[in-house]
Amino acid sequence: MDVERVVNEQMELISMGTVEIIPLDELREKIRRSVETSKPLTVKLGVDPTRPDLHLGHSVPLTKLRHFQQLGHQVVLIIGDFTALIGDPSEQDETRPVLTPEDVERNARTYVEQASKIIDTKTARIVRNSEWLAPLSFGDVIELASKFTVARIMERDDFSRRLKENKPLGLHEFLYPLMQAYDSVALDADVEIGGTDQKFNLLAGRNLQRSLGKSPQCIITLPLLVGTDGVQKMSKSLFNDIGLTDSPDEMFGKVMSIPDEVMWDYYALVSGLSPREIEDIKSGVEDGEINPRDAKERLAIEIVTRYHGEKEARAAASEFKRIFRERKIPSEVPVYYLDLGDRQGRRVWIVDLLVRVNFAATRSEARRLIAEGGISVDGELVEDVNMEIDPEELKGKIIQKGRRKFVKVEHK
């Protein structure tokens, strides 16, 4: 077997889509040794269960973990149940609210399930870092903390920025990189993966391992996926996320809503296509041979296929076309069951109806919607705020709000 060739092949897949590999030649050396001795590398990815759902941004490092898995390495997914209690201060402008152990536990469970859509959870090691972090004594922590200097911790610009801007910075937050670093020590990690925002924490692991006389890990950073707004990084709290558990239609639509320019990031990071295929599509668009919309549609299909299967992806694509391109009513419209019991045959006031079907939170809002020309009944624009409809007449009618919200009224 040609060792050099295998090493090259592994390195090619591993480096695909990465931002940095530190240090590159050291990783190469580790791979070579692994190939020669047939001993898999231990590759670590930590995720803090701070929120109940994973989104497409999380899938970027998970996909990289999958690559290592494909190459036969031992991947370890760390559920940061202990670290989540502190909250990673990386890129945060403020101290995170503290989660209760119950929150963490609930989130942790769904994380593993969602991660299984990307990595093979049967061969991966899935561990919780409370396993080794919780038993540490205060003395142990002080001992570990002595391996870091304040100046080094303050190198992090998110820390120094917060200090400069007179924003609070909790002492406990200083310990976060320390804990993550200790994960690497506890697992004897050879490689750790993370987003570019994790660079400091990843390097902390490398340094701590070295301080404790262990072989230091290599680190791989990956780009942060921008959210559907095309500007900020994907984050549930910014409402620009595409959740891994989003329905096919929702997922498809959200992908279609990203600005054209960022679709190439998505292609590279979460489409699952090879660099060559992506390049073909990209040059096709640049030459004007492929309509950008079709390229984006292809992307959306690829992504939905990954999480829901091809059949669902196709269905989502045609549904999208139906609603947005042809401006038709979706094939399935939610139904609102009008309760006639207490109405005694009285007519239904449109404003009241809009609130009942949840198109408006208040009657004032409903009035505004009508004034803005955003409401129609069976395709007919509602102009009169005082419109009243006979319940019998209303049966089976479709109320539309804006372009894409529909509800059908039926009798209970």
Site string for RNA, 323-342 (x = CB under 7 A): -xx-----------------
Among 172, 322, 363, 408, binds RNA (CB under 7 A): 363
Among 30, 92, 257, 333, binds RNA (CB under 7 A): 257
- C-alpha count within 13 angstroms, C-beta hemisphere, residue 58: 28
Among 256, 270, 304, 353, binds RNA (CB under 7 A): 256
Q: Which stretch binds RNA (CB under 7 A): 36-44, 79-87, 166-174, 303-311?
A: 166-174
Strands in 335-338's sheet, in edge-to-edge order, are: 335-338, 405-411, 398-401, 375-377, 380-381
Among 37, 38, 100, 166, binds RNA (CB under 7 A): 166
Q: How far apart are CA 353 and CA 373, in angstroms?
A: 16
Considering the rule CB under 7 A, would residue 349 count as an interface residue with RNA? yes
Considering the rule CB under 7 A, would residue 93 count as an interface residue with RNA? no
Q: How far apart are CA 199 and CA 205, in angstroms?
A: 10
Among 182, 252, 267, 406, binds RNA (CB under 7 A): 252
Q: Is 158 helix (H, G, I), strand (E, B) or coil?
A: helix
Among 38, 135, 372, 379, binds RNA (CB under 7 A): 372
Residue 389: strand pairing partners:
348
Task: State the first-to-last Cα distance of the chain, in angstroms, to the nearest integer.
Answer: 72
Query: What is the H or E stretch that residue 137 is in?
Result: none
352 φ/ψ angles, rounded to the nearest 5 degrees:
-65, -40
Q: Residues touching RNA: how many (CB under 7 A)?
A: 45
Q: Where are the extended beta strands (E) located within 200-334?
A: 218-222
How do 375-377 and 348-349 pair as beta strands? unpaired
State the SS3 of 303-354. HHHHHHCHHHHHHHHHHHHHHHHCCCCCCCCCEEEECCCCCCCCCEEHHHHH
Residue 32: strand pairing partners:
none
Q: Which is nearer to RNA, 177 or 253 (CB)?
A: 253
Considering the rule CB under 7 A, would residue 367 count as an interface residue with RNA? yes
51-90 residues in contact with RNA (CB under 7 A) are none
79 φ/ψ angles, rounded to the nearest 5 degrees:
-90, 110
Q: Which is nearer to RNA, 173 or 249 (CB)?
A: 249
- Cα dihedral 61/221/11/274 (nearest 10): 50
Considering the rule CB under 7 A, would residue 402 count as an interface residue with RNA? yes
Dig out the tokens for 254 from the structure. Answer: 């959200």
Residues constituting the chain: 412
Task: Give yes or no for a contact between 300 and 372, defined as CB atoms under 8 angstroms apart.
Answer: no
Q: Which stretch binds RNA (CB under 7 A): 78-86, 100-108, 200-208, 365-373?
A: 365-373
Q: How far apart are CA 15 and CA 275, in angstroms?
A: 12
Among 5, 39, 343, 403, binds RNA (CB under 7 A): 403
Q: Which is nearer to RNA, 71 or 263 (CB)?
A: 263
Considering the rule CB under 7 A, would residue 236 count as an interface residue with RNA? no
Among 362, 393, 396, 410, binds RNA (CB under 7 A): 362
- The residue to which tokens 């419209």 are assigned: 333
User: Could you tell me the smallest distance in angstroms from the CB atom of residue 351 to RNA?
Assistant: 7
282-321 residues in contact with RNA (CB under 7 A) are 291-293, 296, 320
Among 86, 193, 270, 369, binds RNA (CB under 7 A): 369
User: Could you tell me the smallest distance in angstroms from the CB atom of residue 17 to RNA?
Assistant: 23
Among 12, 279, 383, 388, binds RNA (CB under 7 A): 388
Q: Which stretch binds RNA (CB under 7 A): 144-152, 184-192, 208-216, 397-405?
A: 397-405
User: Could you tell me the smallest distance in angstroms from the CB atom of residue 301 to RNA?
Assistant: 14
Name the residues that contact RNA, by CB under 7 A.
166-168, 229-230, 239, 249-250, 252-254, 256-260, 291-293, 296, 320, 324-325, 349, 351-352, 355, 361-365, 367-369, 372-374, 386, 388, 401-405
